[in-house]
Structure 1
């Protein structure tokens, strides 16, 4: 569980041991691990034939590299100052890992949407990854220095002011805070141009259309009257193409046991819900940037009564990149670590969140977490966003991150440490610019030396 620290709420005293100005500097440690070696070490145990695809995706831009290099920044953050105030970290809180999805009440909400690296740790680490991502994304779009600085300062200020607001609330009031997209549309409209607001509405409509029914229409077709997942290698590869026919049939039969194991991790009402669906097909599906090469599967289920589709994603959960510096997770199953961290951080989550451990095609036991593949999920297209749009998105991410930290840490102590002025904001902006420079240097080294080796290993 999260270390909620001490009941001492006077974070101002921590300014002596950890001056706020100390956060502004970034210089690589003399014994800094080679980023390329860090990334290469992550390849161990992954699907070898997908490693070139991971390299290709990370090599698209400095921002894409940053997205996939959470392990690199984790090693860098361990040498940066922190107050010792812990929260449940997202662990990979860049601005591409926030988006909209359906709440339990079927409202469209904005929240963090990636928890692969979640672990208790210093709140500063999440915030520094967030502001660095704002600077890097702004550079990626070619925005001038002044516009980049505005976006970063806005994110830092929003986090600080939001934490101050949460500090004045009771824990229960903080727990109920969420960003309901529909209720905030008038405010969003005032901050954007007409065209930018139309883009937002388009993204909202696109999110609302992303359901299991649409996923099934896109990803499946009928074979001899039965729904089957369409092959699209290497992105989507049905089980029948990964192993011989007879063995695939036997493995498919075992999927029922896998689903049964996962179902036991759900609340009893969700267990009952899932009994209405039966297994039809399974395929390996590539997801993300840094996650490419880890095992990820999609499972097609169909309703017994109405024939309605339900597409689940089984995503491999490996040790969090922060565990090398913060110690191992208290959870024996990394899928459970991810889901329990998500439940602590998110205001509302997928009704079918669960986890399991199962043996892979190579006979190795691995942990997975399970969620719906699509449930009104959508993220801002950071490759097309305008300067004001990026600034607005960054502020929203910062508010959301502060809410997550306030839920699981000591908001009064963090807020009093931050203060009400802009000192800390400017320090964070200095860190973001310096780390963006470091990221560009790492990206240049990566693109100059990355391997194009391939392998035929299917597992």
Structure 2
């Protein structure tokens, strides 16, 4: 376990700013612009295959099929590939709790415990302490890749990446001037998004997204994911994407459900105890997660029409872990939960972790709690740029909770040097993503890996 050094609270703001400016000598801001693959760069398909060795082999073709769909889909599933590439780049040494996979689609809407709809990071499978710029670079790369797929010009793709990075920089500067509690309570309420939208067409899309998110609840999932059999709700069997849990899996899930309960606070255990276990199924989710063990559990409260859906996801080592000093958590489920609680402005009340069969780590969360994500495909240049700014702002708020925001702000400075450098990196790494995507599609065509693109 790493031993933390003196916290920001033990040093003056002047000392912290001096530390940030000193980091420029080790890693000039302009140094972030460079990307060139080394001759010993690992083969991206080999990296993905190594990741798949301990996953469910029957599901891996779904993962590869989804990743071959487009360069952006490849980027989503290739966090391990980019982590190795980032590890070869110069580092600032300014550490935060990284999301670890901060691409555009890992931001979105969700409900706070007070039932407010918030915009924030929403995926933490790869969270780990590391250099703040790794998240910023992954965000910027995803912006350029998405812009190209939407047919935007290179100039507009570059501008969107600059704006995402500039939003991060200016937000960190603003947060550096606030007190600790003010930073901790900072959040982006979804209702504040509409005034930021200039075009009427984009505003209608945002309003539609907010409406859909508010409808995505456990009750809505009950109608979509279940059917009534012999008078009882049962999760629909739709293999391979949604498959009823077998007898052995069901027994194991009931056991780990009890263990998970112990990681919740007392009042939330009391709430959970008012629900009864009804049914469970294995579910395929996302792109990069495909092949890991993931289940959904249906619980019933007051009656059958008072459902709660929980998701159980296997927590594996972060893709960042092999490239960075050891983190503070041995249990991978604990790592994910702690990272989410630290990075998100408000957390899921049912977030918890436990150890499952064969010593595998898992974490639990609500399956649907007014969650929603942006439809990035087809966004106009103006809409994508606005969304990129929003993501950059949200990322800065998340980093400010765990890292030294004053030191980071001093490192970034007031000019756009860092913004332009990261945007240039994003441009060249987006080219690399296209090349890697082509390598994967060629491997599929050659029969090296098998893909199921229709799933």
Question: 1:37, 1:317 → 2: CA distance?
Answer: 21
> Given the alignment, which residue of 356, 360, 364 partners 1:366?
360
Task: Give yes or no for the alignment of 1:344 onto 2:342.
Answer: yes
CA shift at 1:329, angstroms?
3.4
**Secondary structure of the corresponding residue to residue 316 of structure 2:** coil
Question: 2:362, 2:405 → 1: CA distance?
Answer: 32
Task: Give yes or no for the alignment of 1:198 onto 2:196.
Answer: no
| 8 A contact 1:82–1:122 mirrored in 2 | yes
Relative to the length of structure 2, the TM-score reads: 0.93
| 8 A contact 2:31–2:90 mirrored in 1 | yes
> 1:276-305: per-residue Cα shift (whole Å, max 9, x none)?
100111100000001101010000111145
CA shift at 1:306, angstroms?
6.4
2:440 aligned residue: 446
CA shift at 1:183, angstroms?
3.1
1:245 aligned residue: none
| 8 A contact 1:25–1:430 mirrored in 2 | yes
> Given the alignment, which residue of 381, 390, 410 partners 1:387?
381
| 8 A contact 2:351–2:365 mirrored in 1 | yes
CA shift at 1:226, angstroms?
1.2
> Given the alignment, which residue of 174, 180, 185 partners 1:171?
180
Question: 2:138, 2:397 → 1: CA distance?
Answer: 16
**Secondary structure of the corresponding residue to residue 163 of structure 1:** helix
Question: 2:249, 2:315 → 1: CA distance?
Answer: 21
> 1:236-266: per-residue Cα shift (whole Å, max 9, x none)?
00014xxxxxxx1x65345332211111111
Question: 2:117, 2:278 → 1: CA distance?
Answer: 29
| 8 A contact 1:48–1:454 mirrored in 2 | no
2:103 aligned residue: 94
CA shift at 1:393, angstroms?
0.9
> Given the alignment, which residue of 266, 279, 282 partners 1:281?
279
Task: Give yes or no for the alignment of 1:301 onto 2:310.
Answer: no
CA shift at 1:438, angstroms?
0.8
2:426 aligned residue: 432
> 1:161-202: per-residue Cα shift (whole Å, max 9, x none)?
1111011111211111110011342233xx2x2121111111
Question: 1:104, 1:52 → 2: CA distance?
Answer: 37
**Secondary structure of the corresponding residue to residue 44 of structure 1:** helix
> Given the alignment, which residue of 65, 75, 79 partners 2:74?
65
CA shift at 1:83, angstroms?
1.3
Q: How many residues align?
A: 440
Relative to the length of structure 1, the TM-score reads: 0.93
- 1:152-231 counterparts in 2 under 5 A? 152-188=161-197, 191=198, 193-231=199-237
**5+ residue gaps in structure 1?**
241-247
RMSD: 1.7
2:290 aligned residue: 292
Question: 1:4, 1:394 → 2: CA distance?
Answer: 34
**Secondary structure of the corresponding residue to residue 414 of structure 1:** helix
| 8 A contact 2:194–2:207 mirrored in 1 | no
**Secondary structure of the corresponding residue to residue 356 of structure 2:** strand
> Given the alignment, which residue of 32, 35, 38 partners 2:41?
32
> Given the alignment, which residue of 315, 321, 324 partners 2:322?
324
1:243 aligned residue: none
**Secondary structure of the corresponding residue to residue 53 of structure 2:** coil
Question: 1:254, 1:121 → 2: CA distance?
Answer: 35
- 1:76-87 counterparts in 2 under 5 A? 76-87=85-96
Question: 1:327, 1:44 → 2: CA distance?
Answer: 24
| 8 A contact 1:4–1:410 mirrored in 2 | no
